[in-house]
Amino acid sequence: MLDFHFHLARLPEPFLVGKELQKLGGKGVLIACEPWEWKACIPLLSAFPQTFFPCFGIHPMIAEQVFSQELEELRDFLQKFPEAFVGECGLDKRFPGYAPGEVQERLFVSQARFALELHRPLMIHMVGDYRRALSILESLGFPDSSAFPIFHRFGGDKEVIKRGLSLNAIFSIHPDSFRKASTKAILKEIPPENLRIETDADESFPIQNPDGTQRTPSEIAQSLLQQLQAVEKKLQSL
Ligand SMILES: [Zn+2]
């Protein structure tokens, strides 16, 4: 089971959860989308080199706090980890600086350029206008052989899938991807090779059992895998 998008460093006791996941045969793309999280992922990546794969970027939620220094630092991280994806990055209408030409877009474009220059997949967070993100990618010259978009926690519609597929996009499916009727209705049109599944687990992932007791690292690992299995099952039943 491969979790295509999760934030292990934001979970309690990440080393122990990582160890339990490894035992259960789980793998994952480790998302680090703030400078502190890049650093927190380094020891996890070296402890579990065959289990977790890096993805370094800057999330639109902190776009206003980012300057050229952080972007330089991000580029260094990406160069040190030649297998790392870029992201998660993108646009989110709930956070400041969302309008066209504002700070979120500038930050997204910088990271999309890193993906093209370094030939890496680009992990995209999109809450708002998918068409705007697609137009940006198209105008920058996506795709190339290794730089293609991954739409994480996918929530787009038929047109987004069509235009995304022409950019060799991957659509990463989360339990929330089934919420919007217009998304749910067209998920089955995505070719299996362009589909992945994810938990997007972070500090908001439930760490208590239904009876109110604290989940152990082993129970957290099991519930992550159960969530992936549930998504897979839902996709099969479409
Ligand atoms: Zn995320």
CA of 88 to the centre of ligand 1 (A): 6
Distance separating alpha carbons of residues 82 and 78, to the nearest angstrom: 6
Q: First CA to last CA across the chain, in angstroms?
A: 20
Q: Is the pTM of this model over 0.75?
A: yes
8 A C-beta contact, residue 171 and residue 195: yes
8 A C-beta contact, residue 126 and residue 158: no
CA of 123 to the centre of ligand 1 (A): 9
Residue 213 DSSP symbol: P
CA of 219 to the centre of ligand 1 (A): 21
Domains and CATH numbers, the chain: 2-236 (3.20.20.140)
CA of 138 to the centre of ligand 1 (A): 23
The pLDDT, as a whole number, for residue 145 is 85
8 A C-beta contact, residue 151 and residue 179: no
Rounded mean pLDDT of the chain?
97
Residue-wise pLDDT for 111-148, tens only, equals 999 999 999 999 999 999 999 999 999 999 999 989 99
Local confidence band at 53 (pLDDT 50, 70, 90 cut-offs): very high
- pLDDT above 70 as % of the chain: 100
Residue-wise pLDDT for 152-183, tens only, equals 999 999 999 999 999 999 999 999 999 999 99
Residue-wise pLDDT for 83-113, tens only, equals 999 999 999 999 999 999 999 999 999 999 9
